[in-house]
Amino acid sequence: MLEAILRAVFHAAGGSRTLERLASRYGMARPGSFGRRFVAGESVDEAIEAARALQGRGFALTLDQLGESVTTLDEADRATRVYLETLRRVVASGIERNVSLKLSQLGLDIDRAICTDNLRRILGPAGRDRFFVRLDMEASPTVQATLDIFATLWRQEYRDVGVVLQAALYRSENDLSRLNAMGARVRLVKGAYKEPKTVAHQRKADVDAAYVRMMERLLREGTYPALATHDPALIERAKRYAAAQGIGADRFEFQMLYGVRRDLQAALVSEGFRVRIYVPFGQQWFPYFMRRLGERPANVGFVVRSLLQER
């Protein structure tokens, strides 16, 4: 109950323009500023430097430009051009070529056809430069459109692209059957959006149970699945299941968020597992940052200590 209350409070705070303006003055001001615990920086260059450091410690990575759903086609075009510039900068830097993006930034909520065209604009050069592109999943009203666009592009032979499923949604187990049959690469998450009980599990135990069912199917039947979780119990369950089924560590990977459970990230790498870190960056970092605070009370203590040190 407390976890749900904290999450609701911080999600609401993430929409406060007043708090966002205040945070923007201090959150990224210095290398040790509180915002940098969970966000690599406001620019792609800062994200690349953070990613380079992670690679040096044995992690895989994916870059993600933070941003909210756009409301005009001009904004969608600008977001597309930002992603194209990110691809160019990543190629020049020499770091791993892997990015994640949200279709709402490319115009999904305005015009699905234009969103699809914008995505093709990104996937073209991404394919030529051998990137892998992950389509992040958003709130439940966008799931079908996201999967439809993914399936359309898959049929058009865009294969260096993957998608995300949320265990919390009732529909996801059926979606997984279709994606496994296609041979698509799936990233499995619990789901961070507040969804109604008509479409999603409400109890943590039910979400965890759905995650385990889907995780085991992905390990058995999936194409290089990505298991995204910071839950030690679920990670141990995945390790035990893979070992029991004779599934080698080269056939799947764990994925975790930048700055979250860094001890667990390092432990998995030391055990020989591939761990991909989601490296977020961008000027619209505050809502994302507040969601991270709501997920784990210990994160709040870190921010308080950081603020006291900056006084």
Which residues form the catalytic set? 136, 187
Instruction: Give Cα separations from 224 to 23, 210, 255 (angstroms).
Output: 39, 19, 12
Instruction: Count other C-beta atoms under 10 Å from residue 270's C-beta.
Output: 9
**How far, in Å, CA of 119 to CA of 104, rounded?**
11
